Chain A
């Protein structure tokens, strides 16, 4: 089946980068903070699989450590989105059609209306560049995505019979949200989380590209791309490999997200065609 093949390819790519990131904590082929100017622009091959950059650093090692930066930023940013967005959405759904629901959702719209990358640039410009501020900036823009998603899904659940029976048995709406609605949202959150994760990786690369992400000497894919632009005409490998890393990771996460969605519930495909649009940070 096609969707299962997608799931497999996606999972494979994701695991690949995850392994690279985890292994980089204990081992990289070369030290990424060690410069060796005399050894610059070595072409791909042996002993540097992907060649070396303008400071003679091993590109393969840098990509491994860069995966760590990307994954860490995206993971924490998505967690922030889920941690704040889901309770907000559930709370709004529990108090549907009240003023509080209105306030929460219009507040979400407000954050949603801004181009995420622009606000991220503003945040890092005010509080200074760095991985931490990039995480916060990307995280804030994940909140309305999850708030909307969980509210919309919760609203339809509130109409279901098993919720009605829970209400009849005297459970508070808060308890119902946590005990009955949240477990039914988990699949949806996992799918959306995967897609938001890929957007987080892209956003981190974008911020680093304009110099607002992780600062040197911590390698970051976006900054590797930005720094090597002028080398493309004579040492293209310095540009190609970080570019490929970003493309393959984002592709992998998207395939994984799609595959998971199909795997969990084929019917889900009809009920959430708008899923991806929620994640439109660009």
Chain B
């Protein structure tokens, strides 16, 4: 009897022991599943959210505060004329398939991304690179045709990661990188699993296993978190539920910033929006706070131009387009639309767009503009609005970092064509002095704010919900990423 009892005790002690050891696996919830896993072959944010800094690395990388840090490049030197960048690479780096990483891989990857027939979604990142040389296997030299103050920043993007020439063609389904996690399994429609890379060259990851689980429905996301099926939802899709998570001691809610400028995109080539007075009237008819409260339940920072408020170069232009119904009506009268007009408002699925759109339609109605809402799925939105340019107004959040340059592309979907602005941006690209660049960024912000190119609504907040015991998740979203290297369970 006693023996049996002690055996039972021993059994209890063993189970208790396993319970106490800190958990080493984590399940991360994401709303959208990536279409593939090759960040050099697609624009979808979900690709980077799985593989950036976890599986793939580039020469430089973004840290959690948005600063650019060395990654595969240990250090670099810039020539005095700003035309030659010499990168010294980390030593002892291997790809997940065991092959050794060297300078030839860097040259191959960058040459492939900037090639004429490249399908890279952010090809402009490589503009101005004239040639890439490999003097020895630990050194890469990038020659530029003109100085480029943003080169190190550009190389930190997910679209500029390094792959091996042996495995790049399989990266869409079986990515092989140099990062702290290896790709292990993709169950289509459900989840992607990564496991720790024991051979990682840097400080190794604290978790053994990371699972990204895809849950598109906000209701299901809520249930999955509550039931513990998902440990963290870095970008939780339903801000209305955050108050409940905040009140629950099992969870921690972290509200940070993103690079997502949420704007009322306006078709600058379509009548009547080709008239600046009309765009100005729209800007004054919008009550930003009401949109933030109504659509985002208070999460979001009002913006008056296309720039992230947490950036040092940001200038507040919200007064330039303050909520003023009388002024909006006057401007419409001046533009010859005293009785208002009808237009279309095409909305993609996220709740900032669907709810925000309904609020904006109601606000525009106050000044006599009848915006007919149609709700579109992402594929339809890309087809009709983004590629087809068949829209009057739409709402979308531009989540790429430092993307004010899109206003210099007259063929971009909102079709803003201003030669002065285009000149400013090309000058800005050549400028390497940080302070001067910031001044030029401010000029750029002012031009588009004064031209009322789009309705500037708010900066999307990063509303993350996680198990309170998890530490090391990014608070802000300086780029589209879920860097899991530093994440651990603090039991």
Residues of A within 8 A of B (CB): 33-35, 37-38, 40, 54-55, 128-130, 211, 215-217, 227, 229-234
Contacts and interface: CB of A to CB of B under 8 A. Distances in A.
B358 interface: yes
B290 interface: yes
B374 A215 contact: yes
A215 B373 contact: yes
A233 B222 contact: yes
A40 B294 contact: yes
Contacts, number: 58
A55 B240 contact: no
Interface stretch (B73-81, B132-140, B359-367): B359-367
27 contacts: A34-B362, A35-B290, A35-B294, A35-B362, A37-B359, A38-B293, A54-B294, A54-B355, A55-B294, A55-B358, A215-B373, A215-B374, A215-B375, A216-B373, A217-B361, A217-B362, A217-B373, A227-B354, A227-B355, A229-B219, A230-B219, A230-B241, A233-B222, A233-B244, A234-B240, A234-B243, A234-B244
Q: Name B's interface SS.
A: helix
A131 to B, nearest CB: 12
B218 interface: yes
Interface residues of B, number: 23
Nearest to B358: A216
Interface in B148-165: none
B161 to A, nearest CB: 35
B294 A37 contact: yes
Which of B355, B362, B365 has the largest count of A CB atoms less than 10 A from its CB?
B362
B238 interface: yes
B240 A37 contact: no
Interface of B: 218-219, 222, 238, 240-241, 243-244, 290, 293-294, 354-355, 357-359, 361-362, 365, 372-375
A37 B354 CA distance: 15
Given A33-B365, A54-B355, A230-B240, 7 more contacts: A38-B293, A54-B294, A55-B358, A55-B359, A216-B358, A216-B361, A229-B219
B362 A33 contact: yes
Q: Find the residue from B238, B357, B358, B374 having the highest chain A CB count within 10 A.
A: B358
Contacts of B294: 35, 37, 40, 54-55
Nearest to B375: A211
A217 B359 contact: no
Contacts of B243: 234
Contacts of A217: 358, 361-362, 373
Contacts of B244: 233-234
A211 B241 CA distance: 22
Contacts of B241: 230, 233-234
B91 to A, nearest CB: 51
A128 B377 CA distance: 11
B238 to A, nearest CB: 4
Contacts of A211: 375
Nearest to A55: B294
Contacts of A229: 218-219
